[in-house]
Amino acid sequence: MTESSLDDLDLVLKTMARTIVDNAVYFAELDSVVGDGDFGYSLRSGFEVVDSDYDTFDKSSVGAVLKKIGLVISGKVGGVSGPIWGTAFLRAAGVAGDRTELAPEDVIAMLRAATTGIMARGGASLGEKTLLDALVPATDSLEASITDPAMQGDHGVAAVQRAADVAVQAALDTKSMLAMRGRAAYTGERSIGSVDAGATAIGVILQAIASAWREKYGEGETA
């Protein structure tokens, strides 16, 4: 894997925003099984702004654009999702700082910082049926790909796809978990048997990013 530019970051973030907006109803339906059903709509209210106003954001550095998104999400998204997702972006922004290019190691550090922020803000841990149960395995997969000779030479196309696939499977694995956080936790054992909406969203988002990444760089194309 090689360094990624601000153009690459634009691709990832705009794809993420559009995917969340387009799947708001689906995410809300998943959340309604044991939650209050507002997850998808809450996220959409923030990411619609990101999608429509993205070209006006300060993109002088990676940290600047991530900070702006974090502030938008924190201000526009209601419930617990706003503080959690907003914190994730703000923590990632803090790690990115004034960089205008990102090495693979930088991306991993940003994802780890986002994860730590989510844990601190929401009080959740792995295995408690939250988005962490997809985000952490996907990050682990991406980190492993950095040093895997078989995953080199294609500008990260295979690595991103593998991380996305890991996230999807990890989200499916939340079906057998007992919800320990959020509104779903109040349902007790009734939460077993349905997938977590947040974890599923991570899988859907990463699959969309993987598709966009492959479309830009092409299977087997070198950087």
How many percent of the chain have pLDDT more than 90? 70
Domain spans in the chain, listed from the N-terminal domain onward = 4-217
The model's pTM is: 0.90
CA 79/CA 110 separation, integer angstroms: 24
CA 201/CA 30 separation, integer angstroms: 10
Residue 181 scores a pLDDT above 60: no
Digit-coded pLDDT (tens) for 149-164 = 888 889 999 999 999 9
Which position has the higher pLDDT, 211 or 6? 211
CA 60/CA 4 separation, integer angstroms: 15
For residues 113 and 94, is the Cβ–Cβ distance under 8 A?
Answer: yes
Report the pLDDT value the prediction gives residue 221, as an integer from 0 to 100. Answer: 44
Separation in Å, CA 131 to CA 77, 144, 157: 16, 20, 23
CA 164/CA 109 separation, integer angstroms: 18
Burial of 150 (0-12, 13-18, 19+ CB in 10 A): exposed
Digit-coded pLDDT (tens) for 21-32 = 999 999 999 888
Digit-coded pLDDT (tens) for 50-105 = 999 999 999 999 999 999 999 999 999 988 889 999 999 999 999 999 999 999 99
Burial of 189 (0-12, 13-18, 19+ CB in 10 A): exposed
The answer for 182, left when phi > 0, alpha when psi is -120 to 50, beta otherwise, is left
Q: Which CATH number fits domain 4-217: 1.25.40.340, 3.40.50.1370, 1.20.1740.10, 3.40.50.2000?
A: 1.25.40.340
